[in-house]
Amino acid sequence: MTDEQNTPNRAEITREKLLAAALDVFGRYGFDGASTRQLSEAAGVNLQAIPYYFGSKEGLYVATAEYLVSRIEQHVGALRREIGANIMALDATGQVLTEDDARRLLTQLGETMIGLFVSKESEPWARFIIREQMEPTEAFTRIYQGLMGPMIGMARRLIGTILREDPTSEHVRLRTLAFVGNIMIFRVAHAAVLAQMEWQSVGPEQLVTLRKLAAELVGRLEPAKGNRP
């Protein structure tokens, strides 16, 4: 493929501008609070670009959710594929995922997610997702099916292995949600984290500390006494 073919055309650039702006504007003001004029001005495009490229404000909102999934996938996709490939290879050969491997993969997943959540880039993502958690719409369905559900399901498989329990059990589901919540707090309660830790921001030194915490959270996962060898 030539460089010219790799260069985004005007339509792709306009769509990208609208989606990036919409992620921020919808996250700040919600669907009802954001006007089409506000969205187009934030993107620096003509007002008619929204119906032209997305059909309507509603179409732009759903497309923004899909755009959000693709942005996060750029950061976690490689690791998610690696973990999925490991699990699929074992399933295909009838082998069992070992506890050590499950802990290693879950630690990598936790470290990746915690690094992503404390980044400046994730701020508009979090605002959009939190609004959808409170009042779910079709956008939440796209985010959950495209990203959250598969990621939580993958973590559930690893945690089930560590706990030596059925990954589909209620207990493992709850333990998985608790594990994810312990990581998400560094984004959804970012201001409280900085205040409590007396940090001005999360820089490289703080990130090393938080990555160690992710490993510690995995280390605390232990099977019930009756499930231990």
- The number of angstroms, rounded, from the C-alpha of 229 to the middle of its chain's C-alpha atoms is 35
- pLDDT: is 92 or 208 the higher one? 208
10 Å Cβ neighbour count for 206? 17
Give the DSSP H/E element, type plus range, for residue 25: helix 10-33
Contacts of 156 (CB under 8 A, 6+ apart): 167, 168, 172, 173, 176
State percent of the chain over pLDDT 90: 78
Fold (CATH) for 3-227: Tetracycline Repressor; domain 2 (1.10.357)
Contacts of 65 (CB under 8 A, 6+ apart): 128, 132, 138, 139, 140, 142, 143
Phi, psi of 228, deg, nearest 5:
-85, 150
- The model carries a pTM of 0.87
State percent of the chain over pLDDT 70: 95
Q: Which amino acid is at 72?
A: I
Please identify which residue in the block is written with the tokens 């999934």. 69
CA-CA distance, 190 to 147, in Å (whole number)? 22
Residue 22: burial class (beta carbons within 10 Å; 0-12, 13-18, 19+): buried
Q: Find the mean pLDDT for residues 151-171.
A: 95
Reported as a pLDDT band with limits 50, 70 and 90, residue 63 is: very high
Tens digit of pLDDT for each residue in 99-124? Answer: 999 999 999 999 999 999 998 889 99
CA-CA distance, 155 to 153, in Å (whole number)? 5
Domain boundaries, the chain: 3-227
Reported as a pLDDT band with limits 50, 70 and 90, residue 1 is: very low
